[in-house]
Structure 1
Amino acid sequence: MTEQPWIATEATVTTCRYQSPGLSILAFGFQNREKFRISFDYYAHGRLYSDEFQSPIAVPQNEHISITYNPLHPKQNSRSHRSVTTPNPTRPPILIIGIIGSIFLSLFWLAILRGCH
């Protein structure tokens, strides 16, 4: 079975929200360059679909953006690979790094305190 080429269409931006750098204490200097969460709607095969992605720049509401979608699975689109729900597989979650670092520092501090007695 050969793959179908994706179909080009226009999507309409429904919202553009600024994402504050919450939990910046645990960020350890890692900053996400994509500071805006863009939601958009598009029609595929006569049906309305919605999705969102992150962007380093703001995109005004009601602006049209070009996307492509999978004709066999119209929910899949060219913007969804950068969707906010998709984790970044190349970097471990910052929260896990913070927890492991806290445990390590606590154990190290306890070892120093026990050595003083």
Structure 2
Amino acid sequence: MRRLTPNPEFPWLETQARVTSCKYDFGEGRALAFGIPTSKHFLITFSYYAHGKTYTGEFTSRTYLEQGKTFNITYNPLAPQQNNRAANIPDTKTPLFAIGIIGSVILSLVWFAMMRGCH
């Protein structure tokens, strides 16, 4: 997922976010996905108040953040659900799954082609 950046025409606003949970992320299958483990282990969930509503987001971190801790974030005033922290979680599950399916199909076709040539 691409990291969102503020538009110079509409500067993003700063506010305080509060950690609502911090869980250790075992990286379900990341070690199996081409043997590339991730160095970010904690999944941080947070909330912030903007334009009369509460919004939530999550990001990964190498360090543990205590529940209730506050930190600064910036958000898009035109779309307050967009913020500079929640966009840094890479969305790699779907591409890796698709690569696995495509690779399986290709290997099956190669196997069938080799077996057919043996007659």
TM-score of the aligned structures, taking structure 1 as reference length = 0.75
> Is the alpha carbon distance of 1:4 and 1:37 closer, same or farther for their aligned partners in structure 2, counting shifts above 3 Å?
same
Distance in 2 separating the partners of 1:78 and 1:96: 28
SS of residue in 1 equivalent to 2:100: helix
> Is the alpha carbon distance of 1:114 and 1:30 closer, same or farther for their aligned partners in structure 2, counting shifts above 3 Å?
same
Q: 1:54 aligns with which of 41, 54, 60?
A: 60
Percent of residue pairs identical? 47
**Greater shift after overlay, 106-115 or 19-28?**
19-28
Structure 1 position 40, deviation (Å): 0.4
What root-mean-square deviation, in Å, do the aligned CA atoms of Structure 1 and Structure 2 show?
2.5
What whole-Å deviation, never above 9, does each CA across 1:15-65 have from its counterpart, x for those lacking one?
112222223476122334333221101122343221112223332211112
Aligned equivalent of 1:78: 84
> Is the alpha carbon distance of 1:65 and 1:8 closer, same or farther for their aligned partners in structure 2, counting shifts above 3 Å?
same
TM-score of the aligned structures, taking structure 2 as reference length = 0.74
Aligned equivalent of 1:96: 98
Aligned residues: 111
> Is the alpha carbon distance of 1:9 and 1:24 closer, same or farther for their aligned partners in structure 2, counting shifts above 3 Å?
closer
The letter for the 1-side match of 2:85 is R
**Greater shift after overlay, 30-39 or 11-20?**
30-39
Distance in 1 separating the partners of 2:30 and 2:11: 41
Q: 2:34 aligns with which of 17, 25, 28?
A: 28
Which of the pair is proportionally richer in strand?
Answer: 2
The letter for the 1-side match of 2:74 is T
Gaps of 5+ in 1: none
Gaps of 5+ in 2: 1-7
Contact kept, 8 Å, 2:30 with 2:38, in 1: the verdict is no
Aligned equivalent of 2:4: none
For residues 40-51 of structure 1, the aligned pairs below 5 Å read 40-51=46-57
